[in-house]
Amino acid sequence: MRNMLYNITAGHPEKMAKPIIWAVLANLANMLPFGCLAWAVSLVYAYYAGEQAVLDTTGLWLAAAGMVVFLGVVYFCEQKAYRAIYRGAYEASAAGRTNLAEHLRKLPLGFLMRKDAGELGHTIMNDFTQIENASTSVLPQLVSGILIPFFAFFGLLFWDWRMALAMLAGFPVTILILWGVSRLERKLGTSHSQAKVTLANCLQEYLYGMKVIKAYNLRTDNFTRLERSFYRFMKESIRIEGVLGPFFLVAMAFMQSGVSLVTIVGVYRVLGGEMTVPLFAMFLLVGARIFDPLSVAIMRLPSFKYDAMAGERIVNLLAQPIMQGEQDAPHGHDIWFEEVSFGYDDTLVLDKVSVEMREGTLTAIVGPSGSGKSTMLRLAARFYDPLGGRVLFGGKDERELDPEKLLKKISMVFQDVYLFQDTIRNNIRYGREDATQEEIEAAAKEACCHDFIMKLPDGYDTMVGEGGSTLSGGEKQRISIARAILKNAPVLLLDEATSSLDPENEAVMQQAIGRLVKGRTVIMIAHRLKTVVNADNIIVLEEGKVVEQGRHQELLEKGGLYARLWELQQRTSGWRITA
Ligand SMILES: Nc1ncnc2c1ncn2[C@@H]1O[C@H](COP(=O)(O)OP(=O)(O)OP(=O)(O)O)[C@@H](O)[C@H]1O
């Protein structure tokens, strides 16, 4: 239960104290007018039963005035409860969402890459919505629904202990059923929420993969995974309602049985002269209202466990350790790998790699596909920490450096460029937020994209579609290079940064990169070896090992893997399609 409370509040149970206190007070206040009503009934009864010769009108007026005053108290408490519950919940989940998004940013990229974007998006949006639901409508009602009958029970004990016992006779059974059903609910809720997450992932994949679906003429009904996910989600939803519903109805019946018992015991006691009619009426009045809060809570209970699981997912994400390290990045910008080993899972992708990439030089990493080139860049930027060995930045182990401060020193251009749904100007400006238009244009000119931007209808104000879909691959790549140039960081990492460019633009870009090397550490991955002939050092990777390194000419003379790859590319570049 403690765990559930912790999860339902996304790790902040203390935040529920105020809403719960006000909900209990509001529900208690709701009982007060019934006290006045019972008093008025007793006065009228006393007159008609002949116990009093005159009707106590002063008492009746006082009871009526009490009703009005108590209705004011009810309004005040309800209003306080409403504000505490709804405002508190929405404010807490807004802060919680921001907090979680910020936390995700600080997690190692490795963790995020293992997670599906759909799943994370689901947690940030839907799981928090569920927490809102639980903390606004279920939790305060549930707590006050359990407390109010107990308060009333102890109050009624003073009037007539038998009647008080009769009223609460079915209550322990109700609590037992609710407790028992919670185990079953967890099981069903787990598969229901798994079905929901799978469906969200399938939908996202389906929408993102639309291009392939169209290209290969895959019809919707061929996309059976999505269809199966819809079906499974429907089945799980029906199952959870169908199995749990009857249990909740039985629990409610036991709870409400208290009112019937009070009626039976009351009739006997009134007929036996052991209890007055007004007291009986009071028990009936209180009995009719006492279980209202719990009835409301029980109706919403099926979603409660499910909400708790949503909270559990949030808590688990927040518990993921962020990357450690507090020190500032040093002034030097050499990047050294010292016996670095790394693997994404059990297989080693880099095996004791030791290389030095010096400031003011251009280092190229080449090698067959899957040999670990991109992994080396990711380790250099500390997207991951190595499993063995050290990556040194300016002579300091990167694990000791604050990851955000380190990233400020690094510009990266990835193979798969991502542009935001924003203007071209802002997409370049992500490199440096305070950059002026002149600086943006200068970077764009350097990256050979100024001319094509000026030809667009709105120039730099042209909106880019999601993921940059309205631009060609080469144009997107040039914009991302402009972004990296604008950042003006001392380390530049280029992962196949010119692969989508035509030969003419690639040659110009190579010259621009050549100019950027001055005072910087530039590391580039290239498949086309002719783009690295001028590199100061070429690292040749094969199956996660450095098999050779040196300048272009030296490597050719060695006659190893590089020479073979060079030979192969020279030959294929000479191929022509002949009729
Ligand atoms: N996020 C990941 N999770 C699991 N395995 C991965 C991940 N990224 C890469 N790998 C695997 O690690 C190995 C090295 O990948 P890497 O991308 O570093 O190679 P590469 O030399 O850059 O390849 P390419 O030239 O094709 O881009 C490959 O076998 C790849 O399948």
User: What pLDDT digit, counting tens, does each position of 27-82 carry?
Assistant: 888 878 878 888 888 888 888 888 888 888 999 999 999 989 988 998 998 888 88
- The order of strands in the sheet holding 410-413 is 410-413, 491-495, 521-525, 361-366, 537-542, 545-550
User: Is the per-residue pLDDT at 217 higher than 70?
Assistant: no
375 CA closest ligand 1 atom index? 18
Contacts by residues 11-14 (CB-CB < 8 Å, ≥ 24 positions apart): 11/311, 11/314, 11/315, 11/318, 12/92
pLDDT number for residue 169 = 87
On whether the CB atoms of residues 448 and 505 are closer than 8 A, the answer is yes
pLDDT above 90 coverage of the chain, percent = 19
CA distances from 23 to 16, 29, 35, 77, 79 (A): 10, 10, 20, 8, 10
**pLDDT per position as a tens digit, 267-305:** 999 899 888 888 888 888 888 778 887 777 777 776 676
pLDDT average, residue stretch 115-124: 74
Instruction: Give 415 Cα–ligand 1 centroid separation in angstroms.
Output: 12
On whether the CB atoms of residues 425 and 461 are closer than 8 A, the answer is yes
pLDDT number for residue 555 = 92
pLDDT average, residue stretch 5-12: 68
372 CA closest ligand 1 atom index? 18
At 454, is the secondary structure helix, strand, or coil? helix
pLDDT average, residue stretch 414-430: 84
C-alpha–C-alpha distance, residues 410 and 520, integer Å: 10
User: Is the per-residue pLDDT at 117 higher than 80?
Assistant: no
- Atom 30 (ligand 1): residue with closest C-alpha? 370
pLDDT number for residue 268 = 92
On whether the CB atoms of residues 139 and 8 are closer than 8 A, the answer is yes
pLDDT number for residue 452 = 87
pLDDT band (50, 70, 90) for residue 570: confident
Judged on CB neighbours under 10 Å (0-12, 13-18, 19+), 19 is: buried
pLDDT average, residue stretch 419-442: 89
pLDDT band (50, 70, 90) for residue 469: low
pLDDT average, residue stretch 551-572: 89
Which of these CATH numbers, 1.20.1560.10, 3.40.50.2300, 3.30.465.10, 2.60.40.420, describes 2-319?
A: 1.20.1560.10
C-alpha–C-alpha distance, residues 149 and 152, integer Å: 5
Q: What is the identity of the amino acid at 4? A: M
Structure tokens, 45: 């009864």
Q: Is the CATH number of domain 328-407+523-574 3.40.50.620?
A: no
User: Is the per-residue pLDDT at 1 higher than 70?
Assistant: no
C-alpha–C-alpha distance, residues 466 and 449, integer Å: 19
Residue ranges, comma separated, of all CATH 3.40.50.300 domains in the chain are 328-407+523-574
pLDDT number for residue 396 = 92
User: Is the per-residue pLDDT at 575 higher than 70?
Assistant: no
Instruction: Give 476 Cα–ligand 1 centroid separation in angstroms.
Output: 23
- Atom 1 (ligand 1): residue with closest C-alpha? 113
Contacts by residues 175-180 (CB-CB < 8 Å, ≥ 24 positions apart): 175/146, 177/247, 177/250, 177/251, 177/254, 178/251, 178/298, 178/301, 180/247
Instruction: Give 445 Cα–ligand 1 centroid separation in angstroms.
Output: 33
Instruction: Give 372 Cα–ligand 1 centroid separation in angstroms.
Output: 6
Best residue for ligand 1 mutational test, from 373, 524, 545 (most atoms within 8 Å of Cβ): 373
pTM here is 0.66
User: Is the per-residue pLDDT at 577 higher than 50?
Assistant: no
pLDDT band (50, 70, 90) for residue 154: confident
- Atom 13 (ligand 1): residue with closest C-alpha? 370
pLDDT above 70 coverage of the chain, percent = 92
Q: Is the ipTM of this complex over 0.90?
A: yes
Ligand 1 contacts (CB < 6 A) are 113, 344, 349, 367, 369-375
C-alpha–C-alpha distance, residues 184 and 175, integer Å: 15
Instruction: Give 209 Cα–ligand 1 centroid separation in angstroms.
Output: 21
User: Is the per-residue pLDDT at 357 higher than 90?
Assistant: yes
**pLDDT per position as a tens digit, 506-559:** 777 777 777 777 788 999 998 888 888 889 999 999 999 999 999 999 999 998
Closest by CA to 167, choosing from 261, 76, 239, is: 261
**pLDDT per position as a tens digit, 162-213:** 888 998 888 889 888 888 887 777 777 778 778 887 887 778 777 777 766 6
pLDDT band (50, 70, 90) for residue 466: low
User: Is the per-residue pLDDT at 574 higher than 60?
Assistant: no
Residue ranges, comma separated, of all CATH 1.20.1560.10 domains in the chain are 2-319
- Atom 6 (ligand 1): residue with closest C-alpha? 344
pLDDT average, residue stretch 88-106: 81
pLDDT band (50, 70, 90) for residue 372: very high
pLDDT number for residue 216 = 64
Instruction: Give 545 Cα–ligand 1 centroid separation in angstroms.
Output: 14
Structure tokens, 322: 């962020």
Q: What is the identity of the amino acid at 125? A: M
> Regarding beta strands 361-366 and 537-542, do their DSSP bridges make them parallel or antiparallel, or are they unpaired?
parallel
pLDDT number for residue 545 = 94
User: Is the per-residue pLDDT at 231 higher than 70?
Assistant: yes
- Please state the three-class secondary structure of 180-212 as a single string: HHHHHHHHHHHHHHHHHHHHHHHHHHHHHCHHH
C-alpha–C-alpha distance, residues 9 and 131, integer Å: 7
**pLDDT per position as a tens digit, 309-354:** 788 888 888 888 888 888 888 888 899 999 999 998 788 999 999 9
Instruction: Give 375 Cα–ligand 1 centroid separation in angstroms.
Output: 6
pLDDT number for residue 578 = 42
Best residue for ligand 1 mutational test, from 371, 377, 529, 539 (most atoms within 8 Å of Cβ): 371
- Atom 3 (ligand 1): residue with closest C-alpha? 344
**pLDDT per position as a tens digit, 131-145:** 887 777 777 877 888
pLDDT number for residue 539 = 95
pLDDT average, residue stretch 136-164: 82
pLDDT number for residue 408 = 87
On whether the CB atoms of residues 309 and 322 are closer than 8 A, the answer is no
At 571, is the secondary structure helix, strand, or coil? helix
